[in-house]
Amino acid sequence: MRLILGSASPRRKELLAQLGITPDAILSPDIDEDPRKGELPRPYCVRIAAEKAAAVPAGPDDIVLCADTTVALGRRILGKPADAGQAAQFLLALGGRRHQVITALAVRRGERLWAREVVSDVKMKRLSDVELNAYLASNEWQGKAGGYAIQGLAGAFIPWMSGSFTGIVGLPLAETAALLATAGYNVYRRDA
Ligand SMILES: Cc1cn([C@H]2C[C@H](O)[C@@H](COP(=O)(O)OP(=O)(O)OP(=O)(O)O)O2)c(=O)[nH]c1=O
């Protein structure tokens, strides 16, 4: 049995390392992440995580771990911004309001799939022009759902959150450990 992290995200690799877990392989799932017409954020996020897990090639006994993080502003899905202009739009829309960050996990072993989603509430302050421009110049918005990363500079924009910090960063560790254990991975006694 091998553990395969199906993610190109360096955050997910680091968060897994926080549990002392080094995957046997890291493979990047290549799927179409476009939302369907009228698709709501939560079902979208769950679907994308499952599609990532299905897209990663693995042996019948291997465990594949995939995740998707989606920022939801009401019914609106904010994915990874295409450019700085879109990042600015997202940040202006998020500022001064509460939004949700959903991370869906999908763990696959052969034909079996275990899934779980974790929803956190996040409040972002209204950004001044100086803050917005500094953030856009930092490029930290790149590759981040909603155009920000709470674990970086944008931590200064988040006065309040409720939920799973590791979930917001991309891999909710409590649920990840539980799902891996359910799939038969020995999280705490790997050498035994
Ligand atoms: C909201 C938020 C998102 N993110 C990141 C986590 C995810 O990497 C990214 C959302 O994109 P995802 O599509 O979930 O993941 P990814 O494209 O980075 O990697 P892969 O599909 O190969 O697993 O946004 C943060 O790092 N901090 C945050 O505060």
Exposure of 39 by Cβ count < 10 A (0-12 exposed, 13-18 middle, 19+ buried)?
middle
The total domain count for the chain is 1
Residue 52 within any structural domain of the chain: yes
Candidate from 28, 47, 169, 176 with most ligand 1 atoms within 8 A of CB, to mutate: 169
User: From ligand 1's centre to the CA of 170, what distance in Å?
Assistant: 5
Residue 109 within any structural domain of the chain: yes
The upper half-sphere exposure of residue 118, i.e. CA atoms within 13 Å in the direction of its Cβ, equals 24
Hey, how many other C-beta atoms are within 10 angstroms of the C-beta on 113?
15
Candidate from 4, 5, 9, 157 with most ligand 1 atoms within 8 A of CB, to mutate: 9
Residue 118 within any structural domain of the chain: yes
**CATH number, position 88:** 3.90.950.10
DSSP result, 37-82: TT--HHHHHHHHHHHHHHHS---TT-EEEEEEEEEEETTEEE-S-S
Residue 192 within any structural domain of the chain: no
User: From ligand 1's centre to the CA of 192, what distance in Å?
Assistant: 33
Average pLDDT on 166-183 reads: 98
For the segment 9-56, what is each residue's pLDDT rounded down to a tens digit? Answer: 999 999 999 999 999 999 999 999 999 999 999 999 999 999 999 999
What's the whole-number average pLDDT of the chain? Answer: 96
What ipTM goes with this model?
0.97
Q: How confident is the model at residue 191 (pLDDT cuts 50, 70, 90)?
A: low
Q: Does residue 32 carry a catalytic annotation?
A: no
Residue that is written with structure tokens 């911004």 in the block = 81
Q: How confident is the model at residue 175 (pLDDT cuts 50, 70, 90)?
A: very high
Which positions ≥6 away from 172 have C-beta within 8 Å? 103, 105, 118, 164, 166
Q: Which residues span the domain enclosing 104?
A: 3-182
Residue 169 within any structural domain of the chain: yes
Annotated catalytic residue, options 30, 68, 83, 121: 68
Residue 188 within any structural domain of the chain: no
Q: Say what percent of the chain tops pLDDT 90.
A: 97
Say which DSSP state 151 is in: T
Residue 191 within any structural domain of the chain: no
